[in-house]
Amino acid sequence: MKISQIRSLTDTPASTPMGQVRGRLDARMRADGRDPGAVYQELEMDSLWVDTHDDVSREIDEVQLHSHTFYEILHVRGGNLQYLLDTRRYRLQAGDIVFIPPNASHRPLFLEKLAEPYTRDVLWVSPLLAEKVSQMFPAQDLLPGRAFVLRTAGTPWQEALGGLFRSGVQESYARAPGWQAAVCGSTTQLLVQLMRAHAGGHSIQPQVEKQELLDRLVLYIENNLAEKITLADTARRFLVSESSINQLFRKRMKVSFYRFVTQRRLIAAKILLQEGQPAEQISARVGFGDYSSFYRAFKREYGISPAEYRKLQE
């Protein structure tokens, strides 16, 4: 679903901050007995080039483990949370920038209660723009294929990068003549400054959080997607009880152990679908027992079939 479609469903103009839009959408979906998190599992871009908006979470979000076909860059303005980026977990703070390339799995990990709202600027860059940028500036790695977190607080980059994020968001909301060109221009400047900050010595890449049982379990799932993964076998491997693992996932991920495994398998399946591999072969490669199980899981998680997903990408 596109942001414009979400705005249409909630009767909100383009100038309405996304935090308010999502609040209305979540309330409407709950009233209809539907899961609000499902909407955000397969978001699409409105623009061929760049989409940008700001967002606010005032309570624990419904966002599950997911991926995108585009680049997502988050500029954190406030909040008290951790972030799962592939298999690495970071504690975020104001000024952090989270760079998420296409198909990287990610999700916020909220604490029991938000000490302050999770506020961020959100920038989406299409693979088409990434290809054009690569052709124009072949020696520059402006949109790398690896995920990372950059800490700008207390560095010369904090004001410059934050200002470019806000400029793009304000242009997108004001929609003055030529606003699309202005957003593309500020995005290009931002990508250059981000590359310099990432490569230079004045920024900090925050340390990955100290590895806990949760991290070891996530890494085990990642490395064994094609194999049979059961709760009983996993508990024996890690010398803990089945209930301990399930409680850990429900507390930290807000889903069961099996639901998380399924989510990670489906993200891997989407990549293979984009590559054009037959859906029947994909189901076995990512650990589903048969195609019908894969089809049902895919349709339940994303609201569309594997064939419909492939058609969207084409």
Q: Could you give the domains of the chain?
A: 3-199 (2.60.120.280), 213-313 (1.10.10.60)
- Pairwise CA distance, residues 121 & 138, whole Å: 28
- Pairwise CA distance, residues 131 & 133, whole Å: 5
- pLDDT value for 287: 95
- pLDDT value for 243: 96
Residue 283 · residue 269 · CB < 8 Å: yes
Residues in contact with 44: Cβ distance below 8 Å, sequence separation at least 6, in sequence order: 1, 2, 312
Give the count of alpha carbons within 13 A of 259, CB side only: 14
Q: Name the nearest CA neighbour of 162 among 123, 127, 126.
A: 123
Query: What is the value of pTM for the model shown?
Result: 0.92
- pLDDT value for 113: 74
Place of tokens 């997502």: 72
Residues in contact with 144: Cβ distance below 8 Å, sequence separation at least 6, in sequence order: 99, 101
Q: First vs last Cα of the chain: how many Å apart?
A: 16
- CB burial of 49-76 (b: ≥16 within 10 Å; e: otherwise) equals bbbbbbbbbeeebbbbbbbbbbbbbbbb
For every one of its 314 residues, what pLDDT tens digit does the chain have, with 9 covering 90 and above? 788 888 888 888 887 877 778 778 777 777 776 666 666 667 889 999 999 999 988 877 778 899 999 999 999 999 889 999 999 999 999 999 999 999 999 999 987 677 788 999 999 999 999 999 999 988 888 999 999 999 999 888 999 999 999 999 999 999 999 999 999 999 999 999 999 998 875 557 788 888 999 999 999 999 999 999 999 999 999 999 999 999 999 999 989 999 999 999 999 999 999 999 998 899 999 999 899 999 999 999 988 899 999 988 87
- pLDDT value for 21: 83
230: left (phi over 0), alpha (psi -120 to 50) or beta: beta
- pLDDT value for 41: 67
